[in-house]
Chains A and B, each alone.
Chain A
Amino acid sequence: MAIDSQRSSRLSTPGVDHPAHYRKRARVGDALGIALWLTSAFAVALFLFSGGTARFGSVADAVTSVGIATGLVGTNLVLAMLLLAARVPFIDHAIGHDRAIAVHRALGKPAFFLLLGHGVILLIGYGLSSGLDPIAEIGPMLAIPDMLLAILAIALLAVVIVSSAALVRRRYSYETWHLMHLLSYAAVLASVPHQLSIGSVLSPFSFERVYWLALYILAFGAILTHRLAEPLVSSLRHRLRVERMEPEAPGVVSIYLSGRRLRSLESVGGQFFVWRFWTAGTWWHSHPISLSSVATDTQLRITVRDLGGGSRSISSVPAGTRVWFEGPYGIFTDAGRTAPKLAIVVAGIGITPVRAMLEDSVLKPGEATILLRASTIDDTFLWGEIEELARQKGVAVTTMIGPRARTGPGWMTQADADRGLTLLGVFPDLLASDLYLCGPTSWLNVVEADARAAGIPDHQIHAERFDW
């Protein structure tokens, strides 16, 4: 009897071991981080192999050597940034697209300042060895072949870095910013000739040169494969077109896309694609939008809020419009889970990935709790679908409708704040839960701060910010 009951209880709870799965992903993430450290050290090692102590014999030599080393490390970081922005599936599955881009951003300034420092330090080192001050050394330095290209490279990189600073970036549309960002490819390539021709570290036919060029091939190969070739081939192969539009609420429509062999995309509920709708007004603009239900082999659905962009708006494109896409991306999915329980807080259009994720999740009864948040009754679109899925999967649903509270926790309604409701009140198991948050940035930040204050570890928070 005892054995039987044990067996039956094991059979009835086949749930995924999320913490174990997370540890596996975290190890890959750690390995990527360690690889960044070791390749940076190895870049300096390439230089040290040719001389070691002898490269630091005099002050001039030592300064020059430091200048060369900063250039090698800076370039290694820039190539790592390219790899992180390449949307390589292996990296996306391990740390997620968001995290990859966050690391990419964090590396930007250090890489730039290392490369700028590389130029300035070498100017000082060269000056010391020829008895000139750094300003006077500029002339002789520019006389070295390929130096003008190197100067062009750092200037282009400066444009890219400045245009990506938060304050500046806001002033441009995404498309304008993206065009400026593409200059970084030109910058990286323009810097290659001087690396190969000026120094003696990467001399022809040496192991050092082969290794170094292999890094370039890896980085640019990843970009060309995953940002250009693969999306293009995928778009042509699946022949996606707009099938029909269905209004969900005032200003909110579901767009049904039809195509072929869509299961082979292996998209998972909660993931997003970057879409491009081929009409005269919309083709130049790409939109990152999550699926709002799990893909079938012939149909995808996305749900968008129309912010009234006129003919530019994708919610008014005619049926039959050809659609290109990149993706699927992201781990705002069941695969991103880290903890035994699941807590979901969504507001407004943020409901779309959660709707698809819920459909695609294996959940034990009582494992998950959802809080649906809306300002007005108009924002309760897709709630019916969520409630139906919740009923099937034994998920508890709480709803909250009304404007944001002015006193108390700003993410809930005034009525709930007044009766002393807290995040832990809604989710008693919060600290043992993954918290999936999706909604407008300003609202989401408040929820996230509240959750952190309650003591939930960083890796258990999964946030997707929706601003359109």
Chain B
Amino acid sequence: MRARATVVGAVGSAAILAIAWQVGSSIDASNGGPSGAGASATAKPAASAASSGSFTGASENTRYGSVQVKIVVAGGKITDVVPVHLTDRGGRSVQLSNRAAPILRAEVLKSQSAKVASVGGATYTTDAYLLSLQSALDQAGL
């Protein structure tokens, strides 16, 4: 291969990477990245100021699949958080969400709110989990 062709190959490769980086970043921003607001997070004002029962949150889409949680409320307290659906796009994603869910559940039960720290390595799952949780809390009027 002649030197000129190597240069063309290298420069062309750099261009492809730069374009892909830009495209990827802008797609991610428009889809709502890990910290962006999920479009479907409809925070309806509390229809009923119920203090007991179970409430299913909105389904939040992420690159790794959708996340939806259900909360069980008794006497104005969150007594359980049950994942209805967790990120599942790829075996690694399943592994991460299965690891993050129990940690998030424990944190939520402790703090009784959606304001808990993100689980390292599972940012997408955490953010979607907490958004869905928040929509469930809104329905419960908590």
A: residues with CB less than 8 A from B are 26, 29-31, 33-34, 36-38, 40-42, 44-46, 48-55, 57-58, 60-61, 126, 128-131, 140, 143-147, 194, 197-200, 203
Contacts and interface: CB of A to CB of B under 8 A. Distances in A.
B110 interface: no
Contacts of A145: 91
Contacts of A147: 91
5 contacts: A44-B20, A52-B23, A52-B26, A144-B91, A200-B93
A31 B8 CA distance: 10
B17 A48 contact: yes
A129 B16 contact: no
- Interface majority SS (helix, strand, loop, mixed), chain A: helix
A55 B9 contact: no
Interface string B31-52: 0011000000000000000000
Contacts of A51: 24-25, 28, 63
Contacts of A61: 121, 123
A38 B16 contact: yes
Contacts of B20: 44-46, 48-49, 52
Given A38-B16, A52-B27, 13 more contacts: A30-B2, A33-B5, A48-B17, A51-B28, A52-B22, A54-B25, A54-B34, A55-B24, A57-B123, A128-B121, A147-B91, A198-B90, A198-B92
Interface in B80-118: 89-93, 95-96, 99
A198 B16 CA distance: 25
Given A45-B19, A198-B90, A200-B63, A33 B27 contact: no
A49 B99 CA distance: 26
A128 B27 CA distance: 26
A212 to B, nearest CB: 14
Given A60-B120, A199-B92, A200-B90, A50 B63 contact: yes
**Residue from B17, B23, B120, B121 having most chain A Cβ neighbours under 10 A:** B121
Nearest to B15: A41
Contact of B28 (A29, A53, A144, A203): A53
A52 B123 CA distance: 15
A131 B121 CA distance: 9
B16 A197 contact: no
B21 A40 contact: no
A66 to B, nearest CB: 13
Nearest to B5: A30
Which 5 interchain pairs have the tightest Cβ spacing? A129-B121, A52-B24, A37-B9, A52-B25, A45-B20
B64 interface: yes
Contact of A34 (B8, B26, B63, B99): B8
Nearest to B122: A129
A33 B7 CA distance: 11
A87 to B, nearest CB: 20
Contacts of A130: 99, 120-121
A30 B10 CA distance: 13
A147 B16 CA distance: 30
A451 B95 CA distance: 62
Contacts of A200: 63-64, 89-90, 92-93
A49 B24 contact: yes
B1 A42 contact: no
Contacts of B89: 200, 203
A37 B95 contact: no
B2 to A, nearest CB: 6
B88 to A, nearest CB: 10
A146 B17 contact: no
Contacts of B121: 60-61, 126, 128-130
A377 B10 CA distance: 54
Nearest to A38: B12
A30 B4 contact: yes
Contacts of B90: 197-200, 203
B58 to A, nearest CB: 22
Contacts of B4: 30
A57 B6 contact: no
Contacts of B10: 37
B91 A41 contact: no
B5 A50 contact: no
B92 A41 contact: no
A356 B2 CA distance: 30
A133 B124 CA distance: 23
Given A34-B9, A129-B121, A200-B64, A49 B92 contact: no
Given A197-B90, A198-B91, A198-B92, A41 B1 contact: no
Nearest to B124: A54
B63 A40 contact: no
A129 B126 CA distance: 13
A51 B90 CA distance: 16
**Residue from B34, B92, B123 having most chain A Cβ neighbours under 10 A:** B92
Contacts of A38: 9, 12-13, 16
A197 B95 CA distance: 12
Nearest to A69: B17
Contacts of A50: 24, 27-28, 63
A182 B91 CA distance: 29
Contacts of A46: 20
Nearest to B12: A38
Nearest to B19: A45
Contacts of B28: 50-54
Contacts of B26: 52
A57 B36 CA distance: 14
